[in-house]
């Protein structure tokens, strides 16, 4: 019995030490930038230049974590093989990776990804001060009978594996993309991961801080960053709508225009010990 008691005490001590180490590794506040801009469909070089420019502007305002919208490099495309690229070996990925290293920031951006064996994904790429470190592939992709603007994703893309846990600057993070957030299973999986922060990039018409988004953030229970494009895309009137939503579903900050805008917010992170 004495041996068992000592073992339990030792395990509790190890757990407490691990929690303390996690709390020390996680800051209590991060300056985030969520950026809306007008991606020009199939103009990858132009869009990369915009991301480089806007990332520099956000970093100049002190941003540590910068989030762009879904498919920010490519938008939706007519020729999926021509406009998609390998991740992280592709030219757009390497250029934005270089900017993240130079500015010592974390950047998340959307791209149309292809693999060497001809699979295609709507992918969000994450790069940081040490370079590329993660990508998330959209899973609950959009199905539409109207392929106007190449929005029937089922006709072109393969599906990913759903939300996973990854680290961003000491934070436990997860990501899902646009229509993923309409899937109850996606929200459940994100909640079970117990992240500190959720990245939620979108690419659609209207404003992305619609009332239904706040209960999704509340169900997961942690701050959620929403990024959406502005401009016309192929035809849709995309009005931006970047937002920071708290873990209780409160809109903490949102963009104020339908034009290009950098939303800066100092986000408080609860330093819980999450196992």
Q: What are phi and psi of 21, to 5 degrees?
A: -65, -40
pTM for this prediction: 0.89
Length of the chain: 275
- For residue 274, being part of any structural domain is answered with no
**Domain CATH code at residue 118:** 3.60.110.10
Tokens of 3: 């041996």
CA distance 270 to 223: 10
Contact call for residues 247 and 222 (beta carbons, < 8 A): yes
Look at the chain and report how many structural domains it folds into: 1
Handedness of CA 151, 156, 158, 160 (dihedral sign): negative
- For residue 15, being part of any structural domain is answered with no
Full DSSP string of 121-174 = EEEEEEEETTEEEEEEE--S----S--GGG--GGGT---------EEETTEEEE
pLDDT of residue 17: 44
Q: 121 forms bridges with which residues in the sheet?
A: 113
Q: What are phi and psi of 120, to 5 degrees?
A: -135, 135
pLDDT of residue 211: 74
What residues contact residue 23 under an 8 Å CB cut-off, 6+ apart?
A: 271, 273
- For residue 9, being part of any structural domain is answered with no
- For residue 20, being part of any structural domain is answered with no
- For residue 164, being part of any structural domain is answered with yes
Contact call for residues 28 and 61 (beta carbons, < 8 A): no
Which positions of the chain have pLDDT values less than 70? 1-26, 207-210, 271-275
Q: Are strands 261-268 and 29-36 parallel, antiparallel or unpaired?
A: antiparallel
pLDDT of residue 250: 95
- Domain hosting 215: range is 27-268
pLDDT of residue 272: 55
- For residue 2, being part of any structural domain is answered with no
């Amino acid at each position: 019995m004495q041996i068992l008691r000592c073992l339990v005490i030792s395990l509790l001590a190890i757990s407490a030490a691990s929690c303390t180490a996690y709390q020390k590794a996680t800051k209590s506040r991060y300056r985030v930038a969520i950026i809306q801009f007008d991606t020009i469909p199939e103009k990858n070089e132009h869009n990369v230049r915009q991301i480089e420019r806007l990332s520099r502007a956000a970093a100049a305002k002190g941003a540590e974590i910068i989030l762009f919208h879904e498919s920010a490099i490519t938008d939706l495309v007519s020729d999926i093989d021509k406009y998609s690229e390998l991740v992280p070996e592709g030219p757009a990925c390497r250029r934005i990776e270089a900017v993240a290293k130079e500015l010592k920031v974390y950047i998340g951006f959307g791209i149309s990804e292809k693999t060497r064996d001809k699979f295609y994904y709507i992918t969000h790429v994450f790069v940081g001060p040490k370079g590329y470190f993660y990508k998330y592939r959209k899973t609950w992709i959009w199905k539409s009978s109207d392929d106007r603007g190449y929005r029937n994703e089922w006709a072109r893309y393969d599906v990913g594996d759903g939300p996973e846990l990854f680290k961003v600057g000491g934070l436990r993070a997860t990501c899902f993309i646009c229509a993923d957030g309409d899937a109850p299973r996606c929200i459940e999986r994100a909640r079970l991961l117990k992240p500190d922060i959720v990245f939620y990039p979108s690419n659609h018409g209207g404003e992305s801080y619609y009332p239904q988004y706040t209960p999704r953030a509340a169900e997961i229970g942690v701050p959620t960053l929403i990024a959406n494009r502005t401009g016309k895309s192929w035809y849709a009137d995309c009005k931006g709508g970047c937002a920071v939503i708290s873990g209780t579903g409160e809109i903490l900050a949102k963009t104020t225009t339908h034009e290009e805008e950098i939303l800066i917010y100092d986000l408080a992170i609860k330093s819980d010990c999450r196992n």
